[in-house]
Amino acid sequence: MSTEPRAVPRAPRQRGVTLIEMIVFMVIIGVALAAIVGVMALTTSQSADPVRRKQALILAEGLLEEVERANFSYCDPFDPNAATAASSKDCTIPEAWGQLGGEPSSSGRPYDNVNDYVAAAGTANAAFDVGGKLADANGNVLDLAGYSASVTITPVALGPDGAQVGANNPSAGVSTGSSADNEALRITVTVSYDGQTLTLDGYRTRYAPNAL
């Protein structure tokens, strides 16, 4: 019979995290979270709300279409020669920038001519508001807080050589610079919201000057 003592097996050593390791881990996680939160805050502050931007786009498209569909006649519609004039020289009341009288007020759009939406060529005009609030063509204030709109109308030269065609051809002795007696116009509608701007461009040509 053996009398040698048996070896008692050791309990496995328990492994853990030291206090220093825990502190280092917390510092690393804290720095990483701060960086992630900073990036998210920057992205959020510089990105437009997609719903607000979509709303601005719909608004700009509607306003641009309103201006493009306006009459583009040689004479003011109140002129007795408006339906027969072949050029502005045949008009008693030739069309000019701004309202000439007889047109509805800003609370009664649309105006009777595309030129009525601006006071001068190449100058932005807030032509879509009523009392400083954005409104539709019938003068109803829109429930769109934070939006504003302006329109700019600029005479442009069309044709293969950049020359106007028709009655306003430079060779006919008619000025094309800022004159309202022009054959083509560039219409720019700008909608501002939340520190952002959205701009749409369109063109209107004098294809039916006697259609009133």
Q: Where are the domains of the chain?
A: 71-205
Listed residue (206, 151, 143, 146) closest to 176, CA to CA: 206
Residue 2 burial (10 A CB sphere; 0-12, 13-18, 19+): exposed
Sheet order of strands, 196-205 included? 147-155, 184-193, 196-205
Ranges in the chain, pLDDT < 50? 163-176
